[in-house]
Amino acid sequence: MIEIRDIKKNFGTQQVLKGISATFENGKCNLIIGKSGSGKTVTLKCMVGLFEPDEGSIFYDGRNITEMNFHNRKTIRREIGMLFQGTALFDSLTVEENVRFPLDMFTDQTEEEKRERVNFCLGRVNLPNTNLKFPGELSGGMKKRVGIARAIVMNPKYLFCDEPNSGLDPKTAIVIDDLIREITIEYNITTVVNTHDMNSVMGIGDKVVFLHEGYKYWEGTKQQIMEITDGELFDFIFASDFLKDLRRHAKF
C-alpha cells in the first residue's frame, strides 16, 4: 500500500499541489484522474521521487520515502516499475536490451537466466519475437507493451503508469488497460495509473482519486462515480453532450 499525506509542491510562485492525501491499495488499480494541469503528473512524480515535495510524506508500506537518504531511496526504487507517457524506451537499445537493462544493472543473474526472464516478460505482454527490433521500428501500442515488460522485469511491488493510453486508438487502449489490470492482480502489485481517459476509469478503476486545481476533490470507486450528479467531477466525466445524453438514456 502507498499512502501520501498532505503533499504540497510549488514551482516558483505557482502552487501546483495544495495538500493532497490519499491511499493506494495493494492488488488494485488505483487511478488518479483530473483535467490537464490539475496536478496528476506532479503527484505521480512526487510519489516516485522524481520531484521532491515541499511538504508532506509518502509511505511505501510504512516506509517514509521523503525522509530517506539517496541510498535507502534506491532500495525502494528497485521495487518500483514505471510506464511513462512517452514510453521512455532507450532509443539506442533493442527491445531485448531495454527490458534486460535493469537485470544487467542490478542482478547477478547468468546470461541464460536473463534471457529467459526477458522472453517471459515479452511473452507476458504478447510481444514474442520482437527482441532484436529497435523502439523506432515499433508501433505506439507495441512501445507501451515493451514499456510494461521493462517495468515488470524486476518483479516490482509498485507499478506506476503515466497516461498509459495517450496516443493510442480505443481498441489498443483497452488492450493496454487489460494488461495493466491482469498484471496487477497476477502479481498483487500496488498499481497507480494517472489518466484522463474515462474508458480506463470505467474499465480498471478499482479506486479513483479525482484531483482538481491541486486539491483532492473526490475519492471513490468507479461505481460511485456514476452516482455523481453535479460539481467538478460531474463536469469532468460527462464533459461532452454525447456522454450526458448517454447517461440520461442509461438512467443511472
Partner 1 sequence: MYKFFEQLGAYLILMRQSFSKPEKANMYWNETFRQARDIGVGSLPIIAIVSTFIGAVSAVQFAYQFRSISLVPMWWIGSIVRKGMILELAPTISALLLAGKVGSNISSELGTMRISEQIDAYEIMGVNTPAYLIGPKIAASVVVVPMLVVIAVFLGIIGGWGAGMLGNFYSNTEYFRGVTDNFDGYDVTVMLTKAVLFGFIMSSVSCYKGFTVQGGAVEIGKSSTQAVVLSSILMIIVNFFVAFFLL
Residue ranges in contact with partner 1 by CB under 8 A: 48-50, 74-75, 77-78, 80-82, 84-86, 88-91, 101-102, 104-106, 154, 160
Please, what is the minimum distance in Å from the beta carbon of residue 135 to partner 1? 10
Q: Given the complex with partner 1, which of 20 and 159 has the nearer CB atom? A: 159
Q: Which is nearer to partner 1, 80 or 209 (CB)?
A: 80
The per-residue b/e assignment along 85-124, b for 16 or more CB within 10 angstroms, e otherwise, is: bebebeeeebbbbbbbebbeeeeeeeeeebeebbbebbeb
Minimum gap (Å) between residue 65 Cβ and partner 1: 12
Please, which residue, 183 or 208, has the CB nearer to partner 1? 183
Least CB distance to partner 1 at residue 69 (A) = 13
Pick 48 or 174: Cβ nearer partner 1: 48
Beta carbon nearer to partner 1, 160 or 218: 160
Least distance in Å: CB of 33 to partner 1? 21
DSSP the chain: -EEEEEEEEEETTEEEEEEEEEEE-TTSEEEEEE-TTSSHHHHHHHHHTSS--SEEEEEETTEEGGG--HHHHHHHHTTEEEE-TT----TTS-HHHHHHHHHHHH----HHHHHHHHHHHHHHTT-TT-TT--GGGS-HHHHHHHHHHHHHTT--SEEEEESTTTT--HHHHHHHHHHHHHHHHHHT-EEEEEE--HHHHHHH-SEEEEEETTEEEEEE-HHHHTT--SHHHHHHHT-SHHHHHHHHHHT-
The cell for 92 is 539506442
Q: Are 88 and 161 in contact (CB under 8 A)?
A: no
Of 167, 171, 93, the closest CA to residue 137 belongs to 93
**In whole angstroms, how close is the CB of 78 to partner 1 at the nearest point?**
5
Q: Least distance from C-beta 147 to partner 1, angstroms?
A: 9
Q: Output the smallest distance, CB 86 to partner 1, in A.
A: 6
Beta carbon nearer to partner 1, 68 or 174 = 68
The residue (of 75 and 223) whose beta carbon lies closer to partner 1 is 75
